[in-house]
Amino acid sequence: MGLVRNFYFRQSVFAALAALCVLFALEPYKIWPLGFVAVFFILRAAEEQRPVGVYRILGAASLFALASSVLTFGWIFATIHRYTGGNFILTVFLGCLYALLFNLKFHALFLLYRYWLKKFHELTHILAFAAIMALTDALAPELFPWSWGNTLAADAPLRQLAALGSVYLIAFAVGVGGAALHLLLRKRHGARWSYFLKPALPALAILTILYIVGAALYFYPIIDSKEVVRVLAIQTNIGAAPEAKRSDEAFATDAINRLFNQSAEALLLHEKADIIFWPEAAMPFHSADRHMQNRKIYSQTFDGVLEYFARALGRTVIFQDMVYRENRLHSRLSVRPSPHTSDETFYLKRRLVPWGEYLPLENIFPALRRYFFEAGHFSAGKLNAPLDVSYRSKLPSRIDSGSLRSDMQLFSSPEKIRTMFASRERTKSLRVQPTLCYEALYPSDARTQDTDLIVNLASDAWFGDGIEGHQHLGAASLRAVENGVPMVRSAMSGVSAVFDARGDDIVPRTGQARQETLYAEIPLEKRRTLFARFGMAAFYILMGAALWPFLMS
């Protein structure tokens, strides 16, 4: 009994239960009502923190941070190990350090609840709690950003709230629902049911209104378009590419063979396809740019296959490769054929994964490279501009496997392909908002007002056949809802998917850690959203409105 009454033991139990609820509310389980239950356990823990001091509150918050990282996002520890090449002890240390540094939302939330929210049974305090929860969610620094709002992404009406104030407005709804559940289940011996129900009714009414607003947004007509773009997303699943494979010729050969074979086989089945998406790291450590500064990473075969699909087969390819610009290595999203000749026809990745794509503090402490020898050497880009993509007007005659086999000898000679096949005229065009890998987790990075499609090329191979790919996809899908435009996600190891402007799947998703191809016909239908127009400003205004009665009282 003494253990059960121990403060830290009880806080650990609440932390574990909250983390497990979040886990099963997210993809791939999608039991979204557990998002409210997770907040209920957070509030139960916060109530028991009222009599204690600051240090105990911070200790309890640290338990929640660790539980979230270990139980909900346990793949983080495995990823740190694979990215850095470090030993077990170093991995555990960095994982725990990550949990404490990048889950400060728990510390802020518990402290504000303890010292600011004194009358939780009043509606002003309930709305203030939900607003504070959403604001700490949005403002706390996170390396792999997740939001309590992601727990409701599986519910179509509540998901639409992202169109008003991004995923963080959904977090506000989670807070209101969790508060209602907390008020309903408060333990009071001998009290009548009305004692629990009465204070919870206002919160339930607010949650009902939010649900009705979401449902109205979901069923509100999207701007109709007769334009349809047909796409292929190639999922090669060549596995993780650590630094040791940089000079592995067999690995590179297998990568390009899979790209060509899967793309060619898919075109034989879906001849109407307009655009082919090759995911991030489908051809790692190589560039299709034959510029002199890329001579160490340039692959003639990679360049040749791209030219063949663009010229001989008349398709547009959107792909990722490596490129040097001003002696700095970048991860690039590019289009072949390019509609222009300027440098603005590609996108350089802006958000790099620490340890995976660059080594933090390496400039100050060069010796760190000895301990994290697998860490990348990339530099971040600066521009976040949409790309213009042109695609077919007239396609070549029917593709046959015999021609494809006979033309394979040309792939190592891109200049010969350019001579043999003239560049095809393309009269159709669309604008795309590019994101590479986990950039799609940041609402601000994908925000767009004048594009037809959001594109996310990703590689989740580092995480194996686990749930990270599903969690990543579930969070990224909300970018389509926020901006009111369709989204294509092509992931090298899965999960690949295509979403419409409501965040619904247009076609079935691919699996995780398997070789697949996804074909979809995407209606270029859009809708105007508050988030696309005003960005996070709309969210902050709504949270200010929720906090205002509390501040006035």
Higher pLDDT, residue 120 or 131: 131
pLDDT for 112 equals 95
Question: What pLDDT band is residue 278 in, cutting at 50, 70 and 90?
Answer: very high
Question: What pLDDT band is residue 426 in, cutting at 50, 70 and 90?
Answer: confident
Per the prediction, the chain carries an average pLDDT of: 89
Higher pLDDT, residue 80 or 323: 323
Question: What pLDDT band is residue 341 in, cutting at 50, 70 and 90?
Answer: very low
pLDDT for 335 equals 95
- The answer to whether 196 touches 252, Cβ cutoff 8 Å, is no
Beta strands in 460-502 (DSSP E): 487-491, 497-499
What 8-state DSSP symbol labels residue 152? G
Q: How does strand 497-499 pair with strand 516-523?
A: unpaired
- List of residues 6+ apart from 45 with CB closer than 8 A: 10, 11, 14, 15, 18, 60, 64, 110
> Which run of H or of E encompasses 516?
strand 516-523
pLDDT for 191 equals 60
pLDDT at 454 over 50: yes
CB atoms within 10 A of CB 208: 12
pLDDT for 168 equals 97
Alpha-carbon distance of 171 to 173, in angstroms, equals 5
Buried b (16+ CB within 10 A) or exposed e, 323-350: bbbeeebbbbbbbbbbeeeeeebbbbbb
Alpha-carbon distance of 391 to 137, in angstroms, equals 40
SS3 category, 480: helix
Q: Cα-Cα-Cα-Cα dihedral of 471, 476, 481, 486, to 10°?
A: -120
CB-based burial label for 195 (10 Å; 0-12, 13-18, 19+): exposed
**CA dihedral for 306, 310, 311, 314, sign (positive or negative):** positive
Over residues 297-314, the pLDDT tens digits come to 999 999 999 999 999 888
- The answer to whether 463 touches 495, Cβ cutoff 8 Å, is no
Question: What pLDDT band is residue 342 in, cutting at 50, 70 and 90?
Answer: very low
Over residues 457-470, the pLDDT tens digits come to 998 877 777 788 89
- List of residues 6+ apart from 352 with CB closer than 8 A: 331, 358, 376, 378, 379, 380
pLDDT for 442 equals 93
- C-alpha atoms less than 13 angstroms from C-alpha of 172 in its C-beta half-sphere: 27
Over residues 210-256, the pLDDT tens digits come to 999 999 999 988 777 778 999 999 999 998 887 778 888 899 999 99
Closest CA to 280 of 483, 518, 455, 500: 455
Alpha-carbon distance of 175 to 337, in angstroms, equals 48
Beta bridge partners of 331: 322
- Listed range (8-12, 144-148, 215-219) with the worst mean pLDDT: 144-148
Alpha-carbon distance of 195 to 245, in angstroms, equals 65
Alpha-carbon distance of 129 to 172, in angstroms, equals 9
pLDDT at 344 over 60: no
Over residues 22-38, the pLDDT tens digits come to 999 999 999 999 999 99
